[in-house]
Amino acid sequence: MGTTRQRLVVGFDEISANNLLLVDEDLNVLEGNGIPNPANRFHSWVYRDRNDVNCIIHTHPLHIAALSMLEVPLAVSHMDICPLFEDCAFLESWPGVPVGNEEGEIISEALGDKRAILLAHHGQLSTGQSIEEACVIAMLIERAAKLQLLAMSAGEIRSIPPELGREAHDWISKPKRHGAAFNYYARRALRQHSDCLS
């Protein structure tokens, strides 16, 4: 069984259904043409260690990248981002460019049983039992980083009560909610990039 990966030198805004690659855990191409991005190799360790993970979204968006430079964990202190409450790990030491076995082991171990991880000096990795869940978590972690940077610039972030954070986490984190949010993001993306499915 393989996983779908981005081709090397294909930008995110250029990815479409016809230029993705199906690869095995050693990045050998099973279907498609091109060279897989070797930086995606560490994903194999997460898939191997986590039977509940069926999708991984790994990106370096602006606010996550900026927050990662501060070497501080994600502060989940707003209702809208509570699906990440006690569900976002933090890797505070950058192991270098993740193309080898060591990086895969380090990142997978740091992720543990969480759905997301903020990687210092790097980016984020979000997981899900479905594509919808992983995508929504990836969108949330970028929003959370943006909120955190804005709040840090204005003062000290105040924590929410843990019992309320856990309650909100469980109430919001439902497959139907992930599906509805994903469908909204998909509609928005298709308005701007209608050719991405070709």
Question: What pLDDT score was predicted for residue 156?
Answer: 96
Question: What pLDDT score was predicted for residue 98?
Answer: 63
Question: What pLDDT score was predicted for residue 71?
Answer: 96
Mean pLDDT of 16-28: 82
Report which of residues 23 and 83 the model is more confident about. Answer: 83
Q: d(Cα 119, Cα 13) in Å, to the nearest integer?
A: 23
Query: How high does pLDDT run on average in the chain?
Result: 90
**pLDDT digit string, tens, across residues 172-185:** 999 999 999 999 99
Is the pLDDT reported for residue 78 higher than 70? yes
**pLDDT digit string, tens, across residues 110-166:** 999 999 999 999 999 999 999 999 999 999 999 999 999 999 999 999 999 999 999
Is the pLDDT reported for residue 86 higher than 70? yes
Is the pLDDT reported for residue 39 higher than 80? no
Q: In 3D, which of 84, 67, 66, 69 has the Cα closest to residue 141? A: 84
Question: What pLDDT score was predicted for residue 189?
Answer: 87
Mean pLDDT of 56-71: 96
Is the pLDDT reported for residue 44 higher than 90? no
Mean pLDDT of 61-71: 97
Task: Say whether 40 sits in a helix, a strand or coil.
Answer: helix
Mean pLDDT of 37-56: 88
Structure confidence at residue 5 as a pLDDT band (50, 70, 90): low
Distances (CA, A) of 180 to 7, 23, 131, 172, 176: 29, 30, 12, 12, 6
Is the pLDDT reported for residue 94 higher than 80? yes
| Residue ranges of E strands in the chain | 3-5, 21-23, 29-31, 55-59, 88-91, 116-119, 123-128
